[in-house]
């Protein structure tokens, strides 16, 4: 018999992560093993990969037999997690017949939710680790948010361009343009590699930067007309990583 049971006193990290995932992915497989809970999937349009890990350290109680795979509707899970009060203790567990995920919230009242496990085929998901990025940088996420919001008034894509000591985010519309330049005097914490330039879809970037709720510094890797990897890492607790295909120009 498979066992999975995990108790959490602060639901915010899990809820924020599921909220971010739900922006990109409708349903997918949450995997629980001895290290913690993970989620790894491609969006329907195969433009983005989400790779999320929640360390077992985050849980007060964490029990699992082997590897448990739970196919879940991400938005339904989010709706349940949003019902947890700030002082509630949250328990996730596999139902005895292994057909449902149970979510229990214990506070002044005791509340039990259950949602069905879905039969989801595990597809091939590109790994964010095996790519040869030419440029790597670390940046405060509010700067990325600013660049993305600036661009939204002009166009639906955003060019990232690294120079020797600065990152430039640039958009050109029919006759308008927006450009943000940040260097180490701003929120750019580090920049390595050779100058590169690539264009990415704005709507995906907008959804991915919600990962900022997990960590306020993002590690970004990209190249010339190359995928971008964005990583939000909260050490020993959680990591939310994205891979985003470039919009290659004609």
Q: Which residues bind a copy of itself (CB under 8 A)?
A: 76, 79-80, 83, 85, 100, 108-116, 143, 146, 149-150, 153-154, 175-182, 185-187
Nearest approach, Cβ of 239 to a copy of itself (angstroms)?
26
Residue 146: phi, psi to the nearest 5?
-65, -45
Contact, 168 vs 201, CB < 8 A?
no
Show the CA angle centred on residue 81, arms to residues 242 and 140, nearest 5°.
35
Nearest approach, Cβ of 185 to a copy of itself (angstroms)?
7
Q: For tokens 């433009």, what's the residue?
A: 47
Tokens of 206: 């907008």
Task: Decide whether 180 or 243 has the Cβ nearer to a copy of itself.
Answer: 180
Indicate the burial class of 45 (C-beta count within 10 angstroms; 0-12, 13-18, 19 or more): exposed
Give the residue among 34, 14, 40, 69 at the shortest CA–CA distance from 237. 14
Nearest approach, Cβ of 163 to a copy of itself (angstroms)?
13
Nearest approach, Cβ of 114 to a copy of itself (angstroms)?
5
**Side-chain-facing half-sphere of 19: CA atoms under 13 Å:** 15
Task: Decide whether 27 or 33 has the Cβ nearer to a copy of itself.
Answer: 27
Task: Decide whether 44 or 83 has the Cβ nearer to a copy of itself.
Answer: 83
Nearest approach, Cβ of 186 to a copy of itself (angstroms)?
4
Task: Decide whether 10 or 150 has the Cβ nearer to a copy of itself.
Answer: 150
Task: Decide whether 50 or 84 has the Cβ nearer to a copy of itself.
Answer: 84
Tokens of 58: 């985050």
């Amino acid at each position: 018999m498979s066992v999975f049971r995990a108790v959490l006193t602060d639901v915010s990290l899990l809820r924020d992560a599921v909220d971010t995932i739900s922006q990109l992915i409708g349903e997918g497989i949450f995997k629980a093993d001895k290290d913690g809970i993970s989620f790894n999937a491609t969006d329907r349009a195969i433009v983005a990969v989400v790779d999320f890990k929640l360390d077992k350290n985050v849980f007060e109680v964490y029990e699992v037999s082997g590897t448990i795979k739970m196919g879940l509707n991400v938005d339904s899970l989010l709706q349940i997690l949003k019902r947890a009060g700030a002082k509630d203790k949250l328990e996730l567990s596999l139902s005895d017949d292994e057909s449902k995920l149970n979510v229990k919230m214990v506070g002044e009242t005791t509340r039990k939710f259950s949602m069905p496990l879905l039969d989801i085929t595990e597809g091939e998901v590109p790994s964010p680790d095996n790519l040869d990025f030419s440029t790597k940088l670390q940046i405060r996420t509010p700067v990325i948010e600013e660049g993305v919001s600036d661009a939204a008034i002009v166009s639906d894509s955003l060019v990232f361009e690294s120079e020797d000591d600065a990152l430039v985010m640039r958009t050109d519309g029919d006759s308008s343009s927006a450009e943000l330049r940040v260097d180490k005097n701003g929120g750019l914490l580090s920049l390595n590699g050779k100058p590169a330039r690539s264009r990415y879809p704005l709507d995906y970037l907008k959804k991915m930067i919600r990962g900022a709720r997990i960590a306020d510094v993002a590690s970004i890797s990209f190249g010339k007309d190359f995928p971008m990897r964005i990583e939000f890492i909260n050490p020993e607790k959680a990591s939310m990583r994205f891979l985003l295909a470039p919009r290659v120009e004609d």
